[in-house]
A and B are shown apart, each in its own frame.
Chain A
C-alpha cells in the first residue's frame, strides 16, 4: 500500500474571501490531517492491537464501527492536536496525549463529537480558545479532518465569524482540500476523490464543540 507522509506541521491558511492574508477573526489554531482508510483495515491497526487500546479511549473503542470511522476519528485527533500547536503523543510529550482528545464518529448519523480534557483542555485554555469545530470527510478511501479553534474574544459573534470564515475557506474555489494536499508529499492521483467534493459519499456535517477545561 502506498503511503503519504506529512512533511510539515504547518497548518493550512484559511482564506477569507474578503481578506486573503489573514484567518478569520477569533481563529486561534487550525489543523488538518489525512489518512488512508485501508491502513485502518489492516491487522497492524486493528481494534485488538496495542495501538487501538493506547490511542483510543474505551468509549471511542466502543463506538468503533469499522476502519472508515477509525480513520476519521484518528484524523480528527491529529487535526485538533495540530490546531492546539502540539501534535499527539501517547503519554510522554512533546504533544498532548491521544486520549485527551476524545472523538466519537458516527458516519451513519453524519456526526462527530469532540471532547477535550487533561493536557489538551489546558493547552486550549492557554491559547485562549473557547470553542472549535472539526470537519470530517470520508469517502471510504481517504479520511480527512480540518479542525479550528476559536478565541473567546467577542463571544459568540466572534465564534460565528470564525466559523463563517472557515466555511468560506472550505467552499472557495481554492478549497481546503487542495490546501491540505499541499502538505502531503508525493503525487496525488488525478482521480483522487478528495479533489472532488461531490464524490465524497459520506461527509460529516460540521460539528461545533465547546471546550470545558
Chain B
C-alpha cells in the first residue's frame, strides 16, 4: 500500500514530482476549461477565419500599459490574394480578468464570466492566443475544452481495462489449468495485432451516425478492449506468487469462497502495483484517442479533442499557411510526458524490483 516510505521515495524522483504537478494542473484546467477559455468553443466568428495568434503587448509607444492586444485590420495580399491580418495600432484592448463574454454551460449552469479576455464584441476583435480555425473559432478555447475528451477518455479507458485485466488476470492465475491456458492463448492472439491497425479497425465499427457522446464512449471501449491484456499479464504473475502465501491458504482452508479471496485478499494486495500499471497505461490511451480522432475515425465536430484539432492541420498547405493549427499537439505531448514521468516515479517508489515493467 501507499506508505510513508513510498511517499518519501517518490519525492526523491524529481521528474516524477514534476509530472505529478503537471497532471494536477492539467486536470484543474480541464475541470474549469470553459471558465479559463476566453470564448465559447463552438461559436463561429466569420470576421476572424484563420486569424493568426494575437501578440500580447505591454508597451504602447514606449509607455507601459499592462498586457493588451491591438485590434486588427484585414488586407488582401495583392499577389496571393490571401487574407492578411495586420495589427491596427490605433485600437488598444486591455486584457482583463473576470470578463463578461460569450455564454457557456458550466456543468448545467449558464455562465458568462471568463477568467480573462478583452472587453469588446468578439464579432469585432478577439484575443486569440493560438489563432483561429477555418470557422473563426478560438483555438485556445477549443484546446482547453478539448482536454475534457482527451484527458477523461484516457482515464475511463484505463479504469475499464484495469477492471477487465485484473479480473481476467486473477482468474487466470488463481485457477490455473484449462482456464489459465484459455485466457493466456486469448491474450496471445489479441497481442498478435499491433495496436495502431487494431485501433483503426475497431473504431471503424462505430456507426458514423452515432451522436458524439456515444462515439466518445465507443472510443473508450475500443481503447480498453485492447489495453487490458497488459494488465492481465502482470496481475496473473502476481496472483501466481500470492496464492501460495500462508494467508491465502488460510483463507481457503477456512472455507472462504474463491471469488471473495480474489476480490478481498489477492487484488487489494497488489493495489499499489495496479496504480503503477494504470498510470503507465494512460499515455497509450491518450495517444490512442488522439490518433483515432486525428484520422477522423473518432470524436466528431462540434465536440473537440486534441487529435481532432490537429486533423485541421493535415495538409502541407495548411502547415505552410496556417502553422498555428498544430499548437494543440503540444498539449498531447505534455500530458503524455507528464503521465510518463509520474508513472516512472511511482514505479521506482512502489515497485523497486520492477515487476510491473512490461505493460
The answer to whether A and B assemble together is no
